[in-house]
């Protein structure tokens, strides 16, 4: 059994992944791949994680989990996707940095399937925008959430190092949320094992949210030509059409947090670029880039 777990991370639209996977469910089921609807495993995984306290599931317990999650016979690959698997929002910022519990949390979820070939995936995002997202969805005021933490210390580099170490050689698939419009079809296909020659439903969903109607029409026309068939050519088309037809409100965000300045945002963005370069080169990381 292969088990693919998409942790997503808060602020990277992980719900879009599960929606797209579900839209392609017919092909997946016909080819031994089952995506599990979140409603089916919500209690199952939580209760198992609590019972095991990070330990490895015994064979009998693993079998019970499979029985609770899977509906189809002869499944060779099971796909799970939900951001809360990486931890509750209040625990995603702490003295030890950004997503400090991610490594331990991923290891605990993977340990539910000790006999399986487990891989995990997640999208990361510029902390200058991901941190405001986490704070906006917290029930606590800014000062309580940050608790004196320097925003510039909330970086993805340390978090990813802990994740890779915790996964103990299991494959970790990573991409930048900022690149999602350009690499979305490849990310979905990679997680679901859908070949490049199989039509993908909602493969243009992400870029479609950023384009004007004219831009979307132009893109569809271009993709229908031989020049738009390869992955490289498609990404070049995406970039070209986005440059000419992007909806301005959809590609810009405003950060409004106490004490945050443009200089801070710029420093966090520069540090993020450095972290991304380091993460892409990490052994054990499969980095999806444009």
Q: Which residue has the tokens 């925003």?
A: 151
> What pLDDT shows up at residue 227?
59
Provide the residue ranges of all domains of the chain, joining segments of one domain with +: 2-198+264-288
Q: SS3 sequence, 48-91?
A: HHHHHCCCCCCHHHHHHHHHHHCCCCCCCEEEEECHHHHCCHHH
CATH code of 2-198+264-288, in short, is: 3.40.50
Beta-carbon contacts of residue 68 (< 8 Å; ≥ 6 apart): 40, 41, 44
> What pLDDT shows up at residue 228?
56
> What pLDDT shows up at residue 38?
80
> What pLDDT shows up at residue 81?
86
CA–CA dist 41, 53 (Å, integer): 18
* Residue 197: HSE in the Cβ half-sphere, 13 Å Cα cutoff: 0
Which pTM was predicted? 0.90
Q: How far, in Å, are 206, 218, 245, 246, 289 from residue 214 at the CA level?
A: 16, 6, 7, 10, 27
Q: What is the dihedral of CA 64, 37, 27, 2, to 10 degrees?
A: -40
Q: What is the mean pLDDT of the chain?
A: 90
> Considering the chain, what percentage of its residues have pLDDT values greater than 70?
98
> How many Cβ atoms sit within 10 Å of the Cβ of residue 87?
19
Alpha helices in the chain, H assignment, sequence order: 14-23, 25-30, 38-52, 59-69, 102-110, 127-136, 142-146, 156-166, 180-192, 205-208, 213-223, 231-245, 248-251, 262-280
Q: What average pLDDT does range 236-253 have in this prediction?
A: 80
Question: What is the DSSP pairing of strand 171-176 with strand 117-124?
Answer: parallel
CA–CA dist 85, 272 (Å, integer): 23
Helix axes 262-280, 156-166, angle to 10 degrees: 30
148 burial class (0-12, 13-18, 19+ CB within 10 angstroms)? exposed
Kindly report, residue by residue over 14-44, the tens digit of the pLDDT.
888 999 999 999 999 999 999 998 888 778 8
Kindly report, residue by residue over 187-233, the tens digit of the pLDDT.
999 999 999 889 999 888 888 888 888 888 888 888 877 655 677 87
Kindly report, residue by residue over 122-165, the tens digit of the pLDDT.
999 999 999 999 999 888 889 999 989 999 999 999 999 999 99
Asked if 64 and 127 count as a contact pair (C-beta separation under 8 A), the reply is no
> What pLDDT shows up at residue 208?
80
């Amino acid at each position: 059994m292969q088990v693919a777990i998409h942790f997503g991370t808060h602020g990277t639209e992980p719900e879009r992944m599960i929606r797209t996977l579900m839209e392609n469910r017919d092909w997946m089921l016909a080819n031994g791949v089952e995506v599990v609807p979140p409603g089916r495993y919500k209690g199952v995984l939580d209760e198992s994680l609590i019972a095991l306290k990070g330990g490895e599931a015994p064979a009998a317990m693993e079998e019970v989990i499979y029985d609770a999650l899977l509906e189809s016979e002869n499944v060779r690959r099971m796909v799970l996707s939900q951001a809360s698997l990486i931890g509750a929002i209040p625990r995603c910022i702490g003295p030890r940095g950004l997503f400090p519990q991610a490594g331990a949390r991923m290891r605990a979820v993977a340990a539910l399937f000790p006999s399986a070939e487990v891989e995990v995936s997640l999208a990361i995002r510029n902390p200058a925008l991901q941190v405001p997202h986490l704070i906006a969805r917290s029930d606590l005021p800014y000062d309580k959430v940050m608790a004196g933490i320097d925003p510039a210390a909330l970086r993805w580099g340390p978090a990813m190092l802990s994740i890779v170490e915790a996964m103990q050689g299991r494959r970790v698939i990573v991409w930048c949320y900022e690149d999602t419009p350009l690499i979305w079809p490849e990310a979905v296909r990679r997680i679901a094992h859908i070949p490049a020659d199989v039509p993908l439903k909602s493969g243009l969903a992400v870029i479609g949210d950023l384009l004007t109607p004219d831009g979307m029409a132009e893109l569809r026309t271009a993709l229908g030509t031989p020049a738009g068939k390869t992955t490289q050519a498609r990404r070049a088309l995406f970039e070209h059409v986005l440059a000419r037809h992007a909806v301005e409100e959809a590609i810009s965000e405003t950060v409004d947090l106490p004490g945050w300045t443009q200089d801070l945002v710029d420093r966090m963005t520069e540090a993020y670029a450095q972290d991304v370069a380091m993460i892409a080169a990490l052994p054990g990381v499969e980095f999806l880039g444009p």
